[in-house]
Amino acid sequence: MEGPWGWALLLLLGLLPLLLLLLPELSRTVKFQLKIGFYCLICLVASGVASLFCLLRHGGRTVDNMSIIKRFVQTFKYIYGLKFELKGLEKFEMKGPCVIISNHQSILDMMGLMEILPDRCIQIAKKELMYMGTVGLIMYLGGVIFINRKRTSTAMSALMEVGDTMVKENLKVWIYPEGTRNGNGDLLPFKKGAFHLAIHSKVPVIPVVYSSFTSFYRPETKLFTSGKIKVEVLDPIETKEMTAENVPELMERCHSIMRESFLRLSDFPNKANGAHGTTSAPAQ
């Protein structure tokens, strides 16, 4: 870990004990801002260091770099006191490609993603993330597919190309069907892109559900403490007999079972019987 990135990371780690000692004396808002700021900083620094490892190990852009990125990000949970309770990881061991979908809550989702990311799995992300300095660089090196969500027709065309590559190279593709971060304690309506992709490629959909972060992370009230995240990988849903006409049905089915699991894992029993609006949205 030589060079400027290595020294910067060592300096940050050296300052961490001092920061932890000062935190109890600071206001809740200041503590929240410091924790978020430090999180963004370690993301930038760790991305720079990981990029060097990826270039030295694999020479450039490849999904194989995800194993390196995963090791770096998995250390973050110790800094922030987060524990993961995992269930159903064996369902990722299926042979062949698939589309993995999960709920999307905050910037902390990256830690949850890397905690369970299966081998040979790429992600779909908005194009804007590619320009976020070293974070964009490490995403590029890890094989992340960047899509311009503002152009629906272009995004759908790109997804179909991803589907062909996924089948040809035996990849798994991870997508957040809500399309944006959502920390309101429920699921947003899903966009159609992930389901068009699965049906077009005739591959299974594997839903993944993370429990709500609201007990330890809530930006509107400046809450950011240690906590536990429950993660459950649900049963695969086959799409071999489906056509484009089945997209709404598949989307509704996935939304329903994921919402039920989300409320159960999050201990939100009162919401389970409440109205939650429609489950469809414009295509991703």
* Cα 273 from Cα 270, distance rounded (Å): 6
| One-letter amino acid of 3 | G
**Dihedral pair phi/psi, residue 194, rounded to 5°:** -60, -35
* Cα 158 from Cα 104, distance rounded (Å): 21
CA proximity to 209, closest of 281, 129, 102, 116: 102
Where helices occur in the chain by DSSP H, the ranges are: 3-22, 28-58, 66-73, 76-80, 109-116, 133-141, 152-169, 193-201, 247-265
Confidence of residue 44 (pLDDT cuts 50, 70, 90): very high
190-211 pLDDT, tens per residue?
Answer: 999 999 999 999 999 999 999 9
State pTM to two decimals: 0.85
Is residue 262 over pLDDT 70?
yes
103 neighbors 209 (Cβ within 8 angstroms) = yes
In the chain, % of residues over pLDDT 90: 70
- What's the rounded mean pLDDT across residues 271-279? 50
- What's the rounded mean pLDDT across residues 35-59? 95
Is residue 275 over pLDDT 50?
no
Spans of all domains in the chain: 3-271
125-146 pLDDT, tens per residue?
Answer: 888 999 999 999 999 999 999 9
* Cα 39 from Cα 75, distance rounded (Å): 12
* Cα 58 from Cα 44, distance rounded (Å): 21
Confidence of residue 181 (pLDDT cuts 50, 70, 90): confident
Strand partners, 102: 208
> Which CATH architecture fits 3-271?
3-Layer(aba) Sandwich (3.40)
Is residue 282 over pLDDT 50?
no
CA proximity to 40, closest of 94, 110, 87, 141: 110
* Cα 76 from Cα 36, distance rounded (Å): 13
Side-chain-side CA neighbours of 180 within 13 Å: the count stands at 8
Distances (CA, A) of 114 to 3, 22, 75, 165, 190: 26, 30, 10, 22, 22
254 neighbors 177 (Cβ within 8 angstroms) = yes
